[in-house]
Amino acid sequence: MQNPFGNGDNGDNNEGPNGIPVPPNYATVVKEGNGDIRIGKVGFSYTTFLFSFLVPIFRGDWYNFLCMIGVNLGIVLGLYSIHFSSMQTFSTVTSVLQFVLSFVWGYLYNLMYFRHLFNRGFKPATQRSKDLLTKSGYLKTKKD
């Protein structure tokens, strides 16, 4: 199949289902035994930045969904324990904090997603995916 991404791979990234090419910053992992395939982006998650909790819900990633809810709930409860002089100050602090949290989740979610998949028995499907995951720090290397 022709590579629609034009990154000069000459079809070397045809690791999707039925040989479909994947973008250069996406990795494919497969679960040994049942052959379940997951394809995910490596790097900043714009969808998590914009839609926060909806991303793990749509991916069926309940573990990371509960982690995100727990952290956000802890921060919100901590914020409510602080006495602010006015409601406007509280609203401003809340808005800034929500933006910062969205930015942090955008950076961390894909890493959390892949690490959870690895804990569930998934392995990189190809050498290209393994190299990409290792280079980005998503896949821990074993020291000899």
How confident is the model over 16-22, as a mean pLDDT? 74
First to last CA, the chain: 39
CA angle 104, 124, 106 (to 5 degrees): 10
25-59: pLDDT as tens digits = 999 999 988 888 899 999 999 999 999 999 999 99
46-96: pLDDT as tens digits = 999 999 999 999 999 999 999 999 999 999 888 888 888 888 888 898 889
Does residue 91 belong to any structural domain of this protein?
A: yes
User: Residue 99 region, left (φ>0) first, then alpha (ψ -120 to 50), else beta?
Assistant: alpha
d(CA 86, CA 48): 31
Q: Does residue 1 carry a pLDDT above 80?
A: no
Does residue 141 belong to any structural domain of this protein?
A: no
- Predicted confidence at residue 86, as pLDDT, reads 86
Q: How far is CA 97 from CA 64, 81, 104, in A?
A: 20, 15, 10
Number of structural domains (the chain) is 1
Does residue 55 belong to any structural domain of this protein?
A: yes
- Asked which of 9-13, 121-125, 134-138 is least confident by mean pLDDT, the reply is 9-13
Does residue 7 belong to any structural domain of this protein?
A: no
d(CA 82, CA 14): 53
Contact criterion met (CB below 8 Å) for 64 and 112: yes
Does residue 144 belong to any structural domain of this protein?
A: no
Does residue 143 belong to any structural domain of this protein?
A: no
Looking up tokens 């969808």 gives 47
Domain hosting 108: range is 17-135
Backbone angles phi, psi at 143, to 5 degrees: -90, 130
- Predicted confidence at residue 11, as pLDDT, reads 47
In this prediction the pTM is 0.82
Does residue 6 belong to any structural domain of this protein?
A: no
Does residue 142 belong to any structural domain of this protein?
A: no
How confident is the model over 12-24, as a mean pLDDT? 73
